[in-house]
């Protein structure tokens, strides 16, 4: 039989367990918040891709050119017949310091490389003018940038900067 004084845990053992639990919780919260910021950026990029493809399809179906206007200062863009879309609060147009533009695009000052910040799809689905890109970044996440590029054929594609190259 064990003496009554040796049952249970000591205060030091309990404090060690609490310290380990608190440390793991802090690490989990930091990782979770980084993942949330990453998801906001990815979701914003996917929304723009979806909107661009929708306007392209609308231009083809209706036989009318569809201009999309980007407002980097206002952190929004307008879609013909559908109104404006705002970026999430933590997302902005632009490149992070040290992130190069896509190899086939011009380095924009404001994050949008289309002429006059306007992208127009013609009734045949092609893009009016030369191709370009829209860059999105999340300042709370280190070195994370997304680029949505459109080529003259109307193809829309999203690429992500992984720290070394665009993928």
**pTM exceeds 0.75, yes or no:** yes
Question: DSSP labels for 35-89?
Answer: HHHHHHHHHHHHHHHHHHHHHHHHHHHHT--EEEEEETTTTEEEETTTEEEEPPT
Superfamily name with CATH number, domain 10-160: minor pseudopilin epsh domain (3.55.40.10)
Domain ranges of the chain: 10-160
What ranges make up the beta strands (E) of 87-140?
91-93, 118-121, 132-138
Closest among 71, 82, 66 to 119, alpha carbons compared: 66
The whole-number pLDDT of residue 153 equals: 95
The whole-number pLDDT of residue 24 equals: 80
- Largest Cα separation within the chain, whole Å, is 90
Please state, in angstroms and rounded to a whole number, the distance separating the CA atoms of residues 166 and 59. Answer: 30
Q: Is 155 left (phi over 0), alpha (psi -120 to 50) or beta?
A: beta
Mean pLDDT split into 10-residue runs, the chain, 167 residues: 68 88 75 76 95 96 94 96 93 88 83 94 93 88 85 94 88
The whole-number pLDDT of residue 31 equals: 66
The whole-number pLDDT of residue 93 equals: 95
Write down the residue that tokens 């940038």 correspond to. Answer: 145
Phi, psi of 115 (to 5 degrees): -60, 130
């Amino acid at each position: 039989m064990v003496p009554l004084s040796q049952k249970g845990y000591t205060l030091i053992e309990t404090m060690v367990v609490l310290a380990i639990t608190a440390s793991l919780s802090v690490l989990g919260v930091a990782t979770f918040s980084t993942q949330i910021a990453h998801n906001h950026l990815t979701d914003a990029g996917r929304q723009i891709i979806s909107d661009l493809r929708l306007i392209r399809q609308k231009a083809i179906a209706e036989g009318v050119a569809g201009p999309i206007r980007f407002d980097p200062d206002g952190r929004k863009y307008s879609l013909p017949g559908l109104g404006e879309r705002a970026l999430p609060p933590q997302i902005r147009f632009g490149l992070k310091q040290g992130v190069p533009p896509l190899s086939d695009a011009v380095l924009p000052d404001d994050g949008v490389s289309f002429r006059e910040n306007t992208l127009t799809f013609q009734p045949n689905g092609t893009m009016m003018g030369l191709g370009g890109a829209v860059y999105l970044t999340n300042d709370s996440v280190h070195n994370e940038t997304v680029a949505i590029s459109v080529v003259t054929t109307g193809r829309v594609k999203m690429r992500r900067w992984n720290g070394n190259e665009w993928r």
